[in-house]
Amino acid sequence: MIAIVDYRAGNLTSVKKALDQVGADSVVTSDPEVVSLAEKIVLPGVGHFSATAHLADSGLRDAIANTIRRGVPFLGICVGLQWMMESSEEAPEVPGLGIWPGECVRFPASVKSPHVGWNQLEFRDGPSRLLRGIPSGSYVYFTHSYRVPLLANTVAESEYGGRFSAVVEQDRMFGVQFHPEKSGAIGLRLLENFCSLRVTAGSCDPEVLTEQNVD
């Protein structure tokens, strides 16, 4: 069962619908216990970074952090990715989960903001489980005003008033700035890749675990 975390930020209908479409068994939940028991977690997000404060208030933050620590695959979408960073200029008083170092920053005044529309993914060197079967240069749908800088774990970047992280991937932790649930066949393929990651249960050491269906 995949837990789609509901933290009252925007609507989750389209994420749920896309997971249904790729045949994944998922549930929309705001219950920390359901999150703790999930095989995988998806943290969607549209809207304001400050909405993520609800994750800490509701106990979801701890549940997510503990579950990630046990090696359960996690996918953050849009604000969900931004929350995996330390913080965001959009709401400096709200801490992110801090999986990756740095701050989300606003687009420069030289470009219109929000960045809305279909932009290209440019893959960096190195394998990605999330992007399996997807060609570099593919178009995906973005809508956001803040962006994650390029990181050591960035596997795909995009360009809009400068380069930024479009896909970040480290061990079982994945984040995408665009909306795979709104990116047509490419987005569905990415979600399918995430949903079909197989994780050998019973071990806590990521080095010992294997993703059996990695190409």
**Cα-flanking dihedrals φ and ψ of residue 73, to 5°?**
-60, 140
Q: Applying CB under 8 A, does 145 fall inside the site for another protein?
A: yes
- β-strand pairing of 2-5 with 26-29: parallel
Nearest to another protein of 82, 153 (CB atom) = 82
**Cα-flanking dihedrals φ and ψ of residue 139, to 5°?**
-95, 135
Nearest to another protein of 121, 130 (CB atom) = 121
Catalytic member of 78, 90, 115, 144: 78
Q: Applying CB under 8 A, does 182 fall inside the site for another protein?
A: yes
Catalytic member of 104, 144, 169, 179: 179
Nearest to another protein of 33, 159 (CB atom) = 159
Of the candidate residues 119, 150, 171, 211, the single one contacting another protein (CB under 8 A): 119
Distances (CA, A) of 5 to 1, 44, 211: 12, 7, 24
Nearest to 193 by CA among 18, 45, 51: 18
The residues near 124 (Cβ < 8 Å, ≥ 6 apart) are: 154, 155, 156, 157
Of the candidate residues 13, 66, 136, 203, the single one contacting another protein (CB under 8 A): 13
- Residue 96 near residue 52 (C-beta atoms within 8 A): yes
Q: Applying CB under 8 A, does 147 fall inside the site for another protein?
A: no
Q: Applying CB under 8 A, does 189 fall inside the site for another protein?
A: no
- Residue 77 near residue 176 (C-beta atoms within 8 A): yes
Q: How far is the CB of 115 from another protein (least distance, A)?
A: 7
Annotation marks residue 181 as catalytic: yes
Annotation marks residue 78 as catalytic: yes
Q: Applying CB under 8 A, does 162 fall inside the site for another protein?
A: no
Q: Applying CB under 8 A, does 160 fall inside the site for another protein?
A: yes
